[in-house]
Structure 1
Amino acid sequence: MSWDSDLVDNVSDELFWDPKVDNVAIAVSAKAGTITLRGTVGSLREKREAKKAAQRVTGVLEVDNQLKVRLMDDAGRVDADIRGDVLQALMLDSLVPRTVDAKVLDGWVTLTGRVDWQYQRDEAEFVASNIVGALDVFNEIEIKNPKPNAGDLQESIKSAFKRNASLDAEGLHVSTDNGMVTVKGTVGSWAERDEAIDAAWSAPGVTAVRDDLTVTY
């Protein structure tokens, strides 16, 4: 069997194995290490979990997630109801500041506002993606951290890489520009890639992270 054929089998098995994903209506294909997911799922959360499952498989270089969200009863929800549920969920989450707002158009949720940290942006997006009827979430929340000293920021991120047992810090390179951090190099898995990007986001003063990492096996 070819490498791509093995990937299709392994990704399909991983989707079946993940209890958060209903793999019945998901088609998997592969080309040169890039996995494409097609079909329908019952929620945006399930669509994202399917992509994570595919990324966990050894040998997967990229995932093109073309899954469509469709409610199981095939009935849409009014945008105002979706927005109300999103705002209520955001308000109840202690990690999301009250400065975050949401609007909904045809089931597409857009998050706006300002926060201090990336984890707050991530949490708001996670919360919104769990709302029934949300077809996708656009995260336009801004980070308002003061701009750090470029040298201090670069060294603090490098130190974080070295402390992290899940990372090979020698293969990672960091550059900074006015709060924008670029991480380059090679990592051995998507999990390692996520660890590196999360570590970069955790440094005080970071307003954006550019992912130039390559996953190699």
Structure 2
Amino acid sequence: MNDLAIRQDIIDELGFEPSVDAANIGVAVEEGVVTLSGHVGSYAEKIAAEMAVKRVKGVRALAETLEVRYAGRKQHADDEIAARALDIIEWDALLPNGAIDVRVQKGWVTLSGEVPWHFQRIAAEKAVMKLGGVIGVTNVLSIKPAASIPDVKSRIVGALKRNAEVEADHIEVAVAGGNVTLKGGVAGWRERTAAERAAWSTPGVISVTNNLAVTG
């Protein structure tokens, strides 16, 4: 697909996504690399726009400079955002009590601490990203598995082969002390994300470096 066709598909997809107001979003495409510019009404909307772009066939990479601009009634003080973030984390049944620290500076939330699983790391970020006043989230939560697991590499390879969204033969898996690196090429962002998710879902994994290239 050429860049003009990809750009039009992205514009159409952003317009199709009900959680995104695309009126103030600019789209540029060069050799499959997409740049989003302009502004949106919340951080959650910004993430939704990024996900919509990654669904489009032919997109190889995404660079975005979208600014989050809240209406006056949606703006909140940092201490109020922090208190709400701690409450929503405490109420989330997926997250361990007392394991996550929250810091807020000018609407930007930083999550730190240790959790046993990557899905909990993601759950914590999703819990706070929809709060009013949040303009961004930095997630530095580290993974500390409850126990050391043998054969991490073979478990990941098995998971990739079972996944209908992934062509496992084109993916190389390297493991060193719970740190996983994925190399090779995939057809699209969806396959790239699915491969990373399979790696993260394996017990004993503490980090994943996704070097998979989207080759189309």
- Whether TM-score is above 0.5 comes out as yes
SS at match of 1:121: helix
Aligned length: 214
Matched residue, 2:114: 114
Within 2, Cα distance between the matches of 1:112 and 1:120? Answer: 12
Alignment of 1:69-84 (within 5 A): 69-73=68-72, 76-84=75-83
Matched residue, 1:160: 159
Tell me, yes or no, if the aligned pair for 1:148 and 1:178 is still in contact at 8 Å: no
Matched residue, 1:134: 134
SS at match of 1:182: strand
One-letter code aligned to 2:46: K
Please say if 1:96 is aligned against 2:95. yes
SS at match of 2:211: strand
Matched residue, 1:125: 125
SS at match of 2:165: coil
Compute the displacement of 1:148 (Å).
Answer: 3.6
Please say if 1:61 is aligned against 2:40. no
Matched residue, 1:177: 176
Matched residue, 1:24: 23
Tell me, yes or no, if the aligned pair for 2:74 and 2:132 is still in contact at 8 Å: no
Within 2, Cα distance between the matches of 1:5 and 1:72? Answer: 33
Within 2, Cα distance between the matches of 1:102 and 1:75? Answer: 20
SS at match of 2:79: helix
Please say if 1:39 is aligned against 2:38. yes
Within 2, Cα distance between the matches of 1:121 and 1:212? Answer: 21
One-letter code aligned to 2:131: I
- CA distance 1:213–1:164, shift in 2 (3 Å): same
SS at match of 2:183: strand
TM-score (norm 1): 0.95
Gaps of 5+ in 2: none
Gaps of 5+ in 1: none
Compute the RMSD of aligned alpha carbons. 1.3
TM-score (norm 2): 0.95
Give per-residue Cα distances to partners, 1:11-60, cap 9 Å, x unaligned.
Answer: 01100000010001101111111110111111111101101101111111
Within 2, Cα distance between the matches of 1:211 and 1:59? Answer: 19
Question: Percent sequence identity over matched residues?
Answer: 38
Within 2, Cα distance between the matches of 1:208 and 1:75? Answer: 35
Give per-residue Cα distances to partners, 1:184-216, cap 9 Å, x unaligned.
Answer: 111111111111000000111100000010112
- CA distance 1:35–1:117, shift in 2 (3 Å): same
Within 2, Cα distance between the matches of 1:106 and 1:61? Answer: 33
Task: List structure 1 runs of 4+ shifted beyond 4 angstroms.
Answer: none
